[in-house]
């Protein structure tokens, strides 16, 4: 089978003058090589396509593939992760991971929380701040937590994201609105344990491949799984394998959220428990990072006895089964 690969290469954007934080969600060449090696070891031919602009050029030349392994994050707008799958849909080319609707909904944390909440699943009370004038209307109990509505890898999350009073709320939201040029999600801060759950599969057959508790160490930015803490996780974060009743409940909540959001093939769900120990949905990554060493999904797979080749193979198998290709 001929499998194309779509992705955003971080080095390309750094060379264009973008900062480390601006490019944090994009992939290093080592990730592309690692995925490509696994696909080839599975007996398939690979074609490196690249980002959405490159995909357009390939399609214009009438190039086609049996399947596309898509991890392209995109650059602009709430539909940036939907751009590649939407193009592939238009040309009836099958691909791995969720389609454009799911990618757009899950990128916008506020919309995803609306779907989860309206489905009766637990998630912290929240408000979406579209402009500075909305800040005064926030009617949620403190402490609160604020972050950009459509960023990943902890971008925009700092120690200032945990908010204790209206003055701090105004300052933090104003700064985030100005910096990221997008709405701000404000939600009730939950004081309990933090979990991340990896999922592979589709619909009723989706299953957890592992759960980790995220424990911030002494020198970390307290209370927040921030961009800084994620960037220097080796010294600031401990990922604990857990199997207690609260962790098992987190897995069930994660699977329910994954299914109600109709994610495809694989993803990762982040949760945090309330004061009663009930895990709540925080956000979902329907295009989870796949760096073999440092991405959360790869780490949890490894910690649960699934090597990198197995992980990629499981994801491709799930996609092929969903698409009726096996």
**Number of residues assigned to the chain:** 326
Residue 142 belongs to some domain of the structure: yes
The reply to whether 289 and 203 lie within a common domain is yes
Domain count, the chain: 3
Structure tokens at 147: 């972050």
Residue 113 belongs to some domain of the structure: no
The angle at the Cα of 148, spanning 146 to 150, to the nearest 5 degrees, equals 140
For residue 208, give its domain range: 191-322
Residue 18 belongs to some domain of the structure: yes
Residues 6+ apart with CB under 8 A from 212: 195, 196, 239, 240, 241, 242, 296, 299, 300, 303
Give dist(CA 204, CA 39) in Å, integer.
Answer: 26
In the chain, the DSSP E strands lie at 2-6, 45-50, 67-70, 95-96, 126-129, 144-148, 162-163, 184-188, 194-200, 207-216, 237-241, 266-273, 279-285
Q: How confident is the model at residue 293, as a pLDDT?
A: 93
Residues of the chain with pLDDT under 50: none
The reply to whether 173 and 198 lie within a common domain is no
Q: What are phi and psi of 57, to 5 degrees?
A: -65, -40
Q: How confident is the model at residue 30, as a pLDDT?
A: 96
Residues 6+ apart with CB under 8 A from 244: none
Q: How confident is the model at residue 290, as a pLDDT?
A: 97
Residue at token pair 């009930």: 278
What is the CATH number for 135?
Answer: 3.30.1490.20
What b-and-e string marks burial along 286-306, b requiring 16 or more CB atoms within 10 Å of the CB? bbbbbbbeebbbbbbbbeeeb
Give dist(CA 74, CA 94) in Å, integer.
Answer: 19
Give dist(CA 190, CA 185) in Å, integer.
Answer: 14
Residue 114 belongs to some domain of the structure: no
Q: How confident is the model at residue 26, as a pLDDT?
A: 93
């Amino acid at each position: 089978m001929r499998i194309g690969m779509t992705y955003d290469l971080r080095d390309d954007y750094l060379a264009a003058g973008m900062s480390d934080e601006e490019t944090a969600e994009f992939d290093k060449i080592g990730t592309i090589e690692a995925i490509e090696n696994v696909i080839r070891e599975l007996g398939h031919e690979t074609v490196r396509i690249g980002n959405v602009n490159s995909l357009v050029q390939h399609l214009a030349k009438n190039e086609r593939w049996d399947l596309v392994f898509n991890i392209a994050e995109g650059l602009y707008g709430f539909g940036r992760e939907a751009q590649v799958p939407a193009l592939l849909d238009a040309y009836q080319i099958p691909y791995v991971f969720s389609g454009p609707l799911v990618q757009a909904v899950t990128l916008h944390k506020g919309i995803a929380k609306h779907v989860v909440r309206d489905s009766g699943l637990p998630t912290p009370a929240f408000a979406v701040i579209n402009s500075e004038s909305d800040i005064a209307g926030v009617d949620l109990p403190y402490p609160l937590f604020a972050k950009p509505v459509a960023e990943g890898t902890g971008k925009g999350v700092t120690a200032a994201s945990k908010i204790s009073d209206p003055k701090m709320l105004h300052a933090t939201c104003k700064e985030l609105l100005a910096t990221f040029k997008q709405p701000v999600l404000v939600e009730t801060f939950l004081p309990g344990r933090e979990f991340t759950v990896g999922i592979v599969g589709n619909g009723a057959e989706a299953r957890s491949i592992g759960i980790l508790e995220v424990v911030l160490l002494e020198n970390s930015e307290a209370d927040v799984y921030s961009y800084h803490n994620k960037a220097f996780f080796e010294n600031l974060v401990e990922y604990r394998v857990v199997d207690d009743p609260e962790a098992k409940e987190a897995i069930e909540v994660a699977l329910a959220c994954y299914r109600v959001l109709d994610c495809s093939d694989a993803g990762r769900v982040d949760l945090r428990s309330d004061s009663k120990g009930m895990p709540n949905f925080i956000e979902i990554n329907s295009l989870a990072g796949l760096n073999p060493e440092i991405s959360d999904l790869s780490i949890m797979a490894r910690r649960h006895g699934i090597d990198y080749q197995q992980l990629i193979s499981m994801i491709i198998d799930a996609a092929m089964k969903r698409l009726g290709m096996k």
